[in-house]
């Protein structure tokens, strides 16, 4: 036998008539109880769906392809047979990306500097052996030896371009560049002192040879009327000329 509810007993009392709102109140309570049951069911279903979706990853599943419009990270590791062979991470100071080897030492650094982009290559000892980047006049390329000393460079200048050659100690011993009058070749000794200078002067070709103190001791040049030769002492004072 069904148990009579309080509201049914009240509404059926003889000689009494209650407002319809009291009768409807029981329906509201029943709807609330139904919604609570549905809410619990939806929560359980959501948790179950999340569990099923993440179950492959919890079991060690690795998707072959991951597609995303945007990826935010600080480090990416490339693994072979469970061992990290390469890593890419953000430099702690500059706006650069660092590619490091399996030992964690930097191999390549690329990013931005004051004039634009830059890429540098490091040897196994951590010495920079090559650099390519933007300079104030254009591009520049620098090559270093295994000790990190610059031994050659090529860059853009205000008049054109320049190629510079250094010795093993990093001192400039030869350069070829463009001047406002044309081309120039400069040769220096291992101490960086000027020894020979060949360029295109205001009237034509010019060749100069310097002494031990860096002063010109012999000069052959083109003039408006022809050619001229100067012979100087070690202090640069004129001793003879022709014509």
Chunked mean pLDDT (size 10), the chain, 243 residues = 45 46 57 64 66 61 74 88 92 91 93 93 94 94 94 94 94 93 93 91 89 88 89 89 89
Provide the pairing of β-strand 161-166 with 150-156.
antiparallel
Q: What is the pLDDT of residue 1?
A: 44
pLDDT at 88: 94
Phi–psi pair at 35, nearest 5 degrees: -65, -35
Cβ neighbours of 76 (radius 10 Å): 12
Bridge partners (DSSP) listed for residue 120: 109, 131
| Confidence at residue 59, expressed as pLDDT on a 0 to 100 scale | 58
- Residues 197, 203 contacting (CB under 8 angstroms): no
**Interatomic CA distance for residues 126 and 128, integer angstroms:** 7
Q: Tokens 């003889």 identify what position?
A: 14
The rounded distance, in Å, linking the Cα atoms of 186 and 176 is 6
Q: Residue holding tokens 């329906």?
A: 27
Task: Assign 3-class secondary structure to the chain.
Answer: CCCCCHHHHHHCCCCCCCCHHHHHHHHHHHHHHHHHHHHHHHHHHHHHHHHHHHHHHHCCCCCCCCCCCCCCCCEEEEEECCEEEEEEEECCCCCEEEEECCCCCEEEEEEEECCEEEEEEECCCCCEEEEEEECCCCEEEEEECCCCCEEEEEEECCCCEEEEEECCCCCEEEEEEECCCCEEEEEECCCCCEEEEEEECCCCEEEEEECCCCCEEEEEEEECCEEEEEEECCCCCEEEEEC
Model confidence, pTM: 0.67
Taking the chain, what is the end-to-end CA distance rounded to the nearest angstrom? 141
Which pLDDT score, from 0 to 100, does residue 195 have? Answer: 93
Q: What is the pLDDT of residue 70?
A: 87
Which pLDDT belongs to residue 203? Answer: 84
Of 85, 129, 79, residue with least CA distance to 105: 85
Which among 181, 134, 183 is positioned nearest to 163, based on CA atoms?
183
What is the reported pLDDT for 37? 63
Q: Say which residues have a Cβ less than 8 Å from residue 177's Cβ, sequence separation at least 6.
A: 157, 159, 160, 161, 162, 163, 183, 184, 186
């Amino acid at each position: 036998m069904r148990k009579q509810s309080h509201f049914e007993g009240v509404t059926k009392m003889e000689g009494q008539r209650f407002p319809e709102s009291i009768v409807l109140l029981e329906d509201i309570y029943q709807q609330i109880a139904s919604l609570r049951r549905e809410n619990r069911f939806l929560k359980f279903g959501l948790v179950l769906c999340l569990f099923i979706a993440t179950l492959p990853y919890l079991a060690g599943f690795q998707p072959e392809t991951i597609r995303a419009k945007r990826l935010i990270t600080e480090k990416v590791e490339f693994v072979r047979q469970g061992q990290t062979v390469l890593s890419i991470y953000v430099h702690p100071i500059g706006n650069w990306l660092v590619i490091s080897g399996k030992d964690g030492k930097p191999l390549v650094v690329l990013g931005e500097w004051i004039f634009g982009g830059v890429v540098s290559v490091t040897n196994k000892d951590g010495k920079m052996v090559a650099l390519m980047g933007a300079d104030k006049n254009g591009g520049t390329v620098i090559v270093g030896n295994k000790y990190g000393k610059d031994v050659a460079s090529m860059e853009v200048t205000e008049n054109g371009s320049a190629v510079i050659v250094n010795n093993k100690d990093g001192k400039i011993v030869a350069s070829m560049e463009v001047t406002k009058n044309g081309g120039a070749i400069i040769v220096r000794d291992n101490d960086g002192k000027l020894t020979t200078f060949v360029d295109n002067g205001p009237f034509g070709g010019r060749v100069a040879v310097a002494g031990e103190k860096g002063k010109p001791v012999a000069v052959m040049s083109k003039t408006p009327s022809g050619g001229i030769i100067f012979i100087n002492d070690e202090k640069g004072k004129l001793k003879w000329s022709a014509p």
